Amino acid sequence: MPERPGNNNTKNQEKASAVLAKLILAFQTGELPAAIAQTVITGPGRPSARWSLGNRIIMFLAGTEDARGFQQWQQVGRRVKKGAKAFYILAPTTRTVRTRVREVDPETGEEVEREVCRQIITGFRYVPVFRYEDTEGDPLPSCKPSQPPPLMDVARRFVNDIRYEPFMGGWYGAFSPGRSQIVLATHDAHVFFHELAHAVHHQVRPGGLQGGQQADQEIVAEVVACALCELYGYQGYLWHGWQYIQHYACDGEKALRRIMAVLAEVEKVLLTILDIAEPTNQEEKIA
């Protein structure tokens, strides 16, 4: 059957309206499917994730997102390239202090003297570290999921870089317009959909997104993520989504009103994604 121009778009529009209506009804009635636990990527990750903010700023100024000591690179099978220059971070120097304390032995009830060791900071020293870009050797262990989530191809049209990293606390995913990058600390498709929505929203919104976590932008991203979960068969995330939206809207009643206020933007983002993901009418093609 020949493709009818505009037909697919209308089909996606119907799909978007239906799923958004279903979501709003679910949020309104509170009848949400049982929530499934969120997961995170575990692993050693980059040592710099545990550095102080000051040291991480020094690292970013050196133009890298992963810097390690000479031996730390060797431990992961990489060598520092010839002629590469180190830059320096500050690390605390510590000393072990032994002190004797008196305490009651819980078994005998007698007072005993025990030696305890304590680490104290005695100062700071400069530690040379090298940029990942100045090393060569084995690729770093991948945190990528064995099966990428749906819409990965769509996301690649909106950002240059999508990467998975071990969870270090604080956030599950992030979209950086400046770096044109999505970073994910979980394999949960819901989080990927949320960051994808931010990336698309950034393109379709005149002037792009505002910096930081703006409530309306978060609500748009999360409603789109919930809608995509529904459309792609990821059950159990709606509850998390509704919690997230309520958090940004301050309470449940306001949350619904705030969703309604940004619904046109939600629809625009969702349709942009669907029109790229499903430009042809699959059912008709099969028929």
Binding site for Zn ion (CB under 5 A): 218, 221
Instruction: State which residue, 78 or 190, has the beta carbon closest to Zn ion.
Output: 190
Instruction: State which residue, 30 or 170, has the beta carbon closest to Zn ion.
Output: 170
Instruction: State which residue, 41 or 221, has the beta carbon closest to Zn ion.
Output: 221
Neighbouring C-beta atoms of residue 267, cutoff 10 Å: 18
Q: What are phi and psi of 89, to 5 degrees?
A: -115, 165
What is the nearest approach in angstroms of Zn ion to the Cβ of residue 271? Answer: 20
Contact 135, 66 (CB under 8 A): no
| Three-state secondary structure call for residue 164 | strand
Closest CA to 36 of 172, 194, 240: 240
What is the nearest approach in angstroms of Zn ion to the Cβ of residue 194? Answer: 6
Instruction: State which residue, 165 or 218, has the beta carbon closest to Zn ion.
Output: 218
d(Cα 193, Cα 158) in Å, to the nearest integer?
Answer: 13
What is the nearest approach in angstroms of Zn ion to the Cβ of residue 234? Answer: 17
Closest CA to 55 of 89, 91, 92, 93: 89
Cβ density class 243-266: b for 16+ within 10 Å, e for less: ebbbebbeeeeebbebbeebeebb
Q: Which tokens is 221 given?
A: 């991203």
What is the nearest approach in angstroms of Zn ion to the Cβ of residue 129? Answer: 31
What is the nearest approach in angstroms of Zn ion to the Cβ of residue 143? Answer: 20
What is the nearest approach in angstroms of Zn ion to the Cβ of residue 221? Answer: 5
Instruction: State which residue, 68 or 194, has the beta carbon closest to Zn ion.
Output: 194
Q: What are phi and psi of 79, to 5 degrees?
A: -115, 150
Instruction: State which residue, 154 or 221, has the beta carbon closest to Zn ion.
Output: 221
Would you give the DSSP letter of residue 19?
A: H
